[in-house]
Amino acid sequence: MTDKVSKKKRSQIMKQIRPVSKIERIPKRLKALRLRHQPKGIFGNPDFANKSKKVALFIDGCFWHGCRFHFKCPKSHPEFWLNKIDRNKQRDKEVNEHLIKGGWVVIRIWEHDIKHMR
């Protein structure tokens, strides 16, 4: 199925989408842990981190990281999406290994777990 808009227009549309997970709306809860929201210069771009204590927190979205409970493959272009999600999972492993080798503590939380943090 072909796209109804040009590549340039599709690119503009996609750039306007800003991902916001539920945890990113409540960073105050993480201040007690002294975690900074989206810190710069840390490999893998964690959602929250404490550089001095070497703690990196990632919030994995159920769709983008292939949650076994909530991921549903889109019906259009399923091969593309399955490859994309598999690559995301592989990248997560690579980021974990790199940070752990550097002495970091890596914490990964699923997006669906955040719903229970009220």
Tell me the C-alpha distance between 94 and 44, whole Å: 9
Number of domains in the chain: 1
Q: Is residue 76 included in any domain, yes or no? A: yes
Q: Is residue 61 included in any domain, yes or no? A: yes
Matching residue, tokens 């549309």: 13
pLDDT at 86: 95
Q: Is residue 53 included in any domain, yes or no? A: yes
**Structural domain boundaries enclosing 40:** 32-114
pLDDT by 10-residue block (mean), the chain, 118 residues: 78 72 57 74 91 91 91 90 95 97 94 71
Q: Is residue 11 included in any domain, yes or no? A: no
- Give whole-number Cα distances, 3 to 45, 74, 76, 81, in Å: 31, 16, 12, 16
Q: Is residue 40 included in any domain, yes or no? A: yes
Q: Is residue 75 included in any domain, yes or no? A: yes
